[in-house]
Amino acid sequence: MEKNFIKLKDIKKIYKMGEIEIKALDSISFSIDKGEFVVVVGPSGAGKSTVLNILGGMDSPTSGELIVGDNEISEYSSRELTTYRRYDIGFVFQFYNLVQNLTALENIELATEICKDPLEPYKVLEQVGLKDRKDNFPSQLSGGEQQRVAIARALAKNPKLLLCDEPTGALDYNTGKSVLKLLQDTSRDNGMTVVVVTHNLAIAPMADKIIKIKNGKVESEEINKNPIPVERIEW
Ligand SMILES: Nc1ncnc2c1ncn2[C@@H]1O[C@H](COP(=O)(O)OP(=O)(O)OP(=O)(O)O)[C@@H](O)[C@H]1O
């Protein structure tokens, strides 16, 4: 595992709303190794989504540094950030965000069209257990299946980093578990660096590293030497 592949140093994010300043992130520092499965957990409003958006180049810090590999992302222009989002980052959102008039396979193909070194869309669909559903539209798939397509779409880009914002937020208990298992297996089997943001502290034991965030600060950072397979976690 490449140590400290991603580094956040004293990241602050202040949103100005007229006279009012909202400190979403108040000097956040932590690092992520290559291939690590990281869970970022904290209560609503803690700053989790802001961390994820900065990691993914969707937002820029007010101050501080974000380094990914040898690149200082926090210095990037908006054009460079576009390239970074396109080539280096896979996103998985709570509500899947699939294109409704494209099939499962077409959704994945569309994403790979703008990439440098994508994986074969059908193979990735097979990997997430959905090859038989390739010609189905999102409305013909269950929530869990749609989220699997969304994960396949993110993975097919062959990103350096997979970012997931409450990926099980819209799923029932067992479906949520199987989606988390897919993410955990993907990290293990493909050496993929995965960051999952959630308010559900119960899933923390499945992670290699747990970052707890509260009021825009890192409350604790814990390395888990023995991550538990998600199927053995109950909540
Ligand atoms: N674009 C924005 N403009 C103004 N304030 C914002 C903006 N985005 C986030 N905030 C504020 O920053 C703080 C952190 O928000 P963030 O969405 O990162 O929290 P979160 O931990 O992801 O919460 P949740 O679990 O509810 O999604 C909140 O007080 C939020 O209102």
User: Which residue's C-alpha comes closest to atom 26 of ligand 1?
Assistant: 44
So what's the pLDDT on residue 208? 97
Question: What is the distance between the alpha carbons of residues 175 and 145, in angstroms, rounded to a whole number?
Answer: 9
User: Which residue's C-alpha comes closest to atom 10 of ligand 1?
Assistant: 24
Burial class (CB within 10 angstroms; exposed 0-12, middle 13-18, buried 19+) of 50? buried
194-225: burial string, b at 16+ Cβ within 10 Å, e else = bbbbbeeeebbbbbbbbbbbeebbbeeeeeee
**Contact (Cβ atoms closer than 8 angstroms) between residue 7 and residue 66:** yes
Q: Please, which pLDDT band fits residue 64 given cuts at 50, 70 and 90?
A: very high
User: Which residue's C-alpha comes closest to atom 29 of ligand 1?
Assistant: 45
User: Which residue's C-alpha comes closest to atom 1 of ligand 1?
Assistant: 15
- Checking if the pLDDT of 109 tops 90, the result is yes
Q: Answer whether 54 contacts ligand 1 (Cβ < 6 A).
A: no
Q: Answer whether 47 contacts ligand 1 (Cβ < 6 A).
A: yes
- Checking if the pLDDT of 193 tops 90, the result is yes
User: Which residue's C-alpha comes closest to atom 17 of ligand 1?
Assistant: 49
Mean pLDDT across 64-73:
97
Q: Where are the alpha helices (DSSP H) in the chain?
A: 48-55, 78-88, 104-112, 121-127, 143-156, 173-190
Q: How many whole angstroms from 15 Cα to the centroid of ligand 1?
A: 9
What does the domain layout of the chain look like in residue ranges?
Answer: 35-60+77-232
Q: Answer whether 45 contacts ligand 1 (Cβ < 6 A).
A: yes
At CA 87, angle to CA 167 and CA 107, rounded to 5? 55
Mean pLDDT across 183-202:
94
- Checking if the pLDDT of 1 tops 90, the result is no
Q: 35-60+77-232 sits in which CATH class?
A: alpha beta
The minimum-distance atom of ligand 1 relative to the CA of 213 is 21
Q: Answer whether 203 contacts ligand 1 (Cβ < 6 A).
A: no
pLDDT digits (tens, 9 = 90+) for 147-181: 999 999 999 999 999 999 999 999 999 999 999 99
At CA 59, angle to CA 199 and CA 187, rounded to 5? 55
Q: Please, which pLDDT band fits residue 31 given cuts at 50, 70 and 90?
A: very high
Q: Answer whether 15 contacts ligand 1 (Cβ < 6 A).
A: yes
Q: Answer whether 24 contacts ligand 1 (Cβ < 6 A).
A: yes
Mean pLDDT across 173-193:
94
The minimum-distance atom of ligand 1 relative to the CA of 53 is 18
Mean pLDDT of the chain: 96
So what's the pLDDT on residue 9? 98
Mean pLDDT across 213-219:
98
Q: What is the pTM of this model?
A: 0.95
Burial class (CB within 10 angstroms; exposed 0-12, middle 13-18, buried 19+) of 78? exposed
pLDDT digits (tens, 9 = 90+) for 121-152: 999 999 999 999 999 999 999 999 999 999 99
User: Which residue's C-alpha comes closest to atom 18 of ligand 1?
Assistant: 47
Q: Answer whether 1 contacts ligand 1 (Cβ < 6 A).
A: no
161-178: burial string, b at 16+ Cβ within 10 Å, e else = bbbbbbbbebbeeebbbb
Q: How many whole angstroms from 128 Cα to the centroid of ligand 1?
A: 31
- Checking if the pLDDT of 73 tops 90, the result is yes
